[in-house]
Amino acid sequence: MTESAAKTPWRKPHRTGSGALSIMQPACREPHRSTEVENREMSAADFLFAPEVQKLLMVAYAAPQQPLSSSELAHRSKLDAADVERTLAHLVGSGILKKQKPKAEEAETFSIDRAFIFHDELRNIALKSFAAAEPVRAMLRGKFKASVVRAFVLAEDEDGTLELLVVHGQSMPDEATLAAACRKLSKNIHRHLKVHVISNAKFNGLTPRDALMPKPAALEIIKLGDTKAPLPVEKVGLLQSARKKLATLSRSSA
């Protein structure tokens, strides 16, 4: 980024003529700038793909009601101070984060601005991707691909805790290994995890009244076929077995 581009003022988010969400756009044009720079516009997707933005929003959405200083954000996101300060300026300027004035000698703090016009939209995008779904999916498809057949993010509470449902096939994930992996993941995404593990047979037997039955708002992060985990072998009853044998004998004698 050139020095002139770095100093370009930014407007708050708005809808473009095509209906797309524009997170940031130069507020004015500077003389002698190329057409490419003059017409540059950062869409919501482009904005969220920036690694610094994703790391800071992952921390902020994990603790939506907790104001954090820039130094604490840098520590949790593992970004250097300069990147944090620059990215915070854009996030505050766009209305995604809000800045609280410091008290006495305390440092100024930042938190999610729930009044942001696209707060729910942006939060859902983050939850379905970098802030929750993607890291949980990567963990389960990595260490537990031989046992997990389906997985869901059932809900997220006000404190950012994620409730997960893990469905296993023939084999059940090792309890100690899964617990250790969840602790590591919890630390990396800065969220508490509440994990339920059930068999595929039990999942298929859930009814809408069951607390673990995924609601329409739940995120299915691993679907059948996404992993190499084999499904349990169906138990065949005596009557069904007899019918199959009779059918086989009938075909043989025909």
Give the model's pLDDT for residue 103. Answer: 78
pLDDT band at 198 (very low <50, low <70, confident <90, very high): very high
Token pair 């482009």: residue = 46
What pLDDT shows up at residue 233?
74
Q: Is 32 helix (H, G, I), strand (E, B) or coil?
A: coil
Average pLDDT over residues 121-148: 93
Please, what's the b/e burial string for 136-169 (b: 16 or more CB within 10 A of its CB; e: otherwise)?
bbebbbebbeebbbbbbbbbbeeebebbbbbbbb
Tell me how far apart the alpha carbons of residues 15 and 26 are, in angstroms, rounded to a whole number.
14
The answer to whether 25 and 11 are in contact (CB under 8 A) is yes
Q: Of 23-27, 108-112, 238-242, which one has max mean pLDDT? A: 108-112
Number of residues in the chain:
254
pLDDT in tens, 64-78: 889 999 999 999 999
pLDDT for 214: 96
Cα four-point dihedral sign 76, 78, 82, 83? negative
Average pLDDT of span 202-228: 94
Q: Taking the complete model, does pTM exceed 0.85, yes or no?
A: no
Work out whether strand 219-222 and strand 148-156 pair parallel, antiparallel, or are unpaired. antiparallel
Q: Which residues pair with 112 in a beta bridge?
A: 97
- Return the higher-pLDDT residue of 9 and 154: 154
Mean pLDDT, residues 199-208: 94
- The DSSP H or E segment spanning 1 is none
Rounded to whole angstroms, the Cα distance separating 203 from 166 reads 10
